[in-house]
A and B are shown apart, each in its own frame.
Chain A
Amino acid sequence: MSEVTHVGLEIHVQLLTESKVFCACRNSYGDEANSNVCPVCLGYPGILPALNEEAVTKAYQIASALGCTLSHSVGFERKNYFYPDLPKNYQISQYAAPLGSDGQFLYECDGQERRVRIREVHLEEDAGKMIHAGDLSLLDYNRAGTPLVEVVTQPDLRSGADAEQLLTAFRSLVRYIGVCDGNMEHGSLRADANISVSDTEDRLGAKVEVKNLNSFKFVRAAIGFEELRQAAELVAGREVVSETRLWNENRDVTKTMRVKETDSDYRYFGEPDLPPYPLAPAFFDEVAARAVELPLAKRRRLAAAHSLSDAQSAFVTAEPETARFFERCLTSGADGKAVANWLAADVQRLLRQRGETLGSSALSPERLVQLLSLVDRGEITGKIGKQVLQAILESDRDPAAIVEEDGLRPVTDAAALGQVLSEVLAEHPQVRAQLSGGDRKPVGFLIGKVMQRTAGQADPGAIRTLIEAEVAEEAGG
């Protein structure tokens, strides 16, 4: 018997909007508890929701990027359930007609293109947070009413690794569109997984939903755990119970939260406070105008155009900030491959050391292009280039100014270099002997020594010429 695993995800995306979805409160993470609240988001008697159009636009941007069929009017339902973090004890969500349906998402998994079908994209309000502190339960309603988009995939995924890669690519997507910061730690991007293991390919097994997955790693681990657990049930001849389970990150296991049979009936019905809101053609024009090139398309285009390696194209396009930086370098005429090399290696390393990002650092695309061009024209050596890069980050100056002010121009003056070379040869008589004997091996050693004495400023080409001249002289003399 061989088991087949099917995984579907419910991805929750908190939208980046100034205000909440149904009131004027600030939509902001990390503020003092219950500071961004008002009668509307606290569910006071008599309040009504007023729909935030920016949230609607951003939700449609996601649905549109996922190639969904877009609903021409936006209507809501009430999803009824009691929970202390839900101020009205119903959630305003979409049920009958989600704003997007039947889309797809393309991403790469282990170098292979994968496609997951998107069942629906809908807009709803987030709940508050309940914090348990000893015997107390505390409630923070700052998050209540945050615009939340739920993306529901079909059960097309086959493993935890698959799900992790999809989520990584999806995070990149929402960051590209600029609708979400994708911060799992703050909960702005969250996912629940539905896992079903069956013993035949042609039908799904019982659906088990796993919640409380606060990182992509937990998603992978929880799916892996469920695969084994459910397969073991089947092997033992038992039925898998359809239920909701919670991931316990301390023990790396899932535990039953509630069994589906006793699950609450949400008693959905049309939200009378928000009559279906017809969207004008101008709205869809705006959504279209905001469309951007998606990460996978960009990666393919740039990789082909600039002969980037897989790792380079992945690095350059993972973050919208890096991609923007890269493309601005290209418009300044830089060589794509060289830029990618620098970004993926030295730039990334130095930024990480300094705890900075491209956007927050003193390195602009113009400065990097200037630096590359100095190296390319031989005005500085590659090694000095790295020093200049560091100096840019440290002192916020242009590369040309750094070279000038810090005296980093290469020493090409034959007399000065000849002097250094003579000193080196004098200290290493055996090397001189080797050269005299026609052995070229020590040339590299000599160049290195001269570079060392000149603090890397010597032009390696010029040193080589001098050495050759020295050898020729001896042979002739």
Chain B
Amino acid sequence: MTTQQWAATASDSARRGKWSARVAELNGELNALLSFDADARAPVAVSGDGPLFGVPFVVKDNIAVDGLPLTCGSRLLADLVSPYSATAVARLEQAGAWVAGKANLDEFGMGSSGQHSAFGPVRNPWDHRAVPGGSSSGSAAAVAAGMVPLALGSDTGGSVRQPASFCGVYGLKPTYGAVSRFGLVAYASSLDVVGIIADTPQLARAAFAAVRGADEWDQSSVTAAASQPAGMPSKVGVPRVALAGLDARVAEVLATAEHQLEESGCTVVDVELPALEHVAAAYYVIATAEASANLARYDGIRYGARVGDGGGPGEDAEKLVRATRSAGFGQEVKTRILTGTFVLRSGFQEQYYQRAQRVRTLVREEVERELRRCDLLLLPTYPVPPFTAGSTAGDGLDELQQKQADLFTGIANLTGHPALAFPVDSNGGRPIGMQLMGPAHSEEQLLAVVERLTERWPPPRPGSHIGEVA
């Protein structure tokens, strides 16, 4: 559906009702959305101001929308209503888009399977037995299923790109600082970015244009001149050596993408990224260290669920905080907080945190070196196709394997470069996507290349899709 068609549906209560009913039906299968309201924020007119006028979008539930819940997929924040809106949300609204609901996610953005939400797992619209990826699981599933054309997600180590790939849609992780993080609930502040999931590269581009730029409430945000897409890049690099352990189907799809790029006039060259093998370890040390501080505020004192009444006679605040956090956080979140606390202990920082920071510098230098040799880098998004949910047998991955698999996405978070995941092959119902990574602030270039590929090789749709009903 085009932007105009969405505006027509959004502004007509009868069509909205039909659409809403289909969304509810699909959500019953997928559990992608934690809330949906087709009416409250819908436009009243069929046309209006802004390049995104009338476009409904859903917001990952770790991004604040004034007056809507901000659960972060956690029991601890199940009843929290946000008193303010994230800058990215406000900017999309200024561009004419409107919030239709909040999307399910792995708790606090921690996970790459969509199975770590206190409000139940999200299912992949292509294959309900497969995971949708994570942590922006609901955002990717909702867009893939056609419930909405656009969603905001967050990407700390691949959380936008990996579920976008698993669900066969487009996922943009912008340059660190290009989009304000104000209103994005912090997981790992130096890695977190607000990302965009869309059903077309064109819509992703319009949404990115709306949200980008410095914000006085985020001092790590910057305004960069929009890059001018210069047609197809001449040289695209592929880090061949690091791809040894790649699943055969993913390797095949990578070859397809290379072929498509060559067909479109690019030269594909081999590049060296030896530091890639340390990415996952460095990523998890830094991410968990920052998370241990970022999640410390959830103590049940000022907001959120409180367990016990530590203020009562004979109790104390420490007891209250301990009880609240023990009951409120899920297992994966606890594991990461403990890991982060461990790596930051005084006397051990050199061994873990400082070392991870040095790896980060090394990776950045390598990526910058290779991006001087070629225009863009092509990487798989994930080393395996969408795996089966709830099992470590067969093609299932255990938690450690899932973390080790974050290397191809984690690299762009460590270096801050932009990366765009795009669908290449539906792989018999378990889609495989690739990603293009480019120099800082080259989002327009990435989107232009993918737009060209999409025109020639349009991606198919999943079985669970809203269709043209809306």
Contact = CB atoms under 8 A, between A and B. Distances in A.
Interface of A: 39, 42-51, 78, 80, 82-84, 87-90, 135-137, 139, 141, 265-267, 269, 272-275, 277
A90 B293 contact: yes
Contacts of A51: 219
28 contacts: A42-B303, A44-B83, A44-B303, A45-B70, A47-B182, A48-B182, A48-B219, A50-B216, A50-B219, A51-B219, A84-B321, A87-B302, A89-B297, A90-B293, A135-B312, A136-B311, A137-B311, A137-B317, A139-B301, A265-B345, A266-B346, A267-B292, A267-B341, A267-B344, A269-B353, A272-B189, A273-B186, A273-B218
A84 B301 contact: yes
Interface of B: 62-64, 70, 72, 77, 80, 82-84, 86, 181-186, 189-190, 216-220, 289-290, 292-293, 296-299, 301-303, 311-313, 317-318, 321, 341, 344-346, 349, 353
Given A48-B181, A48-B182, A82-B296, A269 B289 contact: yes
B217 A50 contact: yes
Q: Which of A48, A82, A139, A141 has the most CB of B within 10 A?
A: A48
B223 to A, nearest CB: 15
Nearest to A130: B317
Contacts of A272: 189-190, 220, 290
Q: Which of A51, A89, A90, A275 has the most CB of B within 10 A?
A: A89
Contacts of A87: 297, 302
Contacts of B84: 39, 44, 46
A463 to B, nearest CB: 76
Contacts of B77: 45
B311 A46 contact: no
Given A44-B83, A45-B77, A269-B349, 17 more contacts: A44-B82, A45-B72, A46-B70, A46-B86, A46-B182, A46-B184, A48-B182, A50-B219, A51-B219, A80-B296, A84-B299, A89-B297, A89-B299, A139-B301, A269-B293, A269-B353, A273-B219
A47 B302 CA distance: 14
Contacts of B345: 265, 267
A88 B70 contact: no
Nearest to B349: A269
Contacts of A273: 186, 189, 218-220
A275 B220 contact: yes
B218 A48 contact: yes
A445 to B, nearest CB: 76
Nearest to B177: A275
A387 to B, nearest CB: 59
B185 A42 contact: no
A84 B82 CA distance: 21
B311 A82 contact: no
Contacts of A46: 62-64, 70, 82, 84, 86, 182-186
A25 to B, nearest CB: 13
Contact of B318 (A42, A82, A139, A269): A82
Nearest to B318: A82
Q: Which of A39, A49, A87, A267 has the most CB of B within 10 A?
A: A267
Contacts of B289: 269
A225 B313 CA distance: 33
A80 B343 CA distance: 13
A431 B318 CA distance: 87
A275 B219 contact: yes
Q: Which of B82, B186, B312 has the most CB of A within 10 A?
A: B186
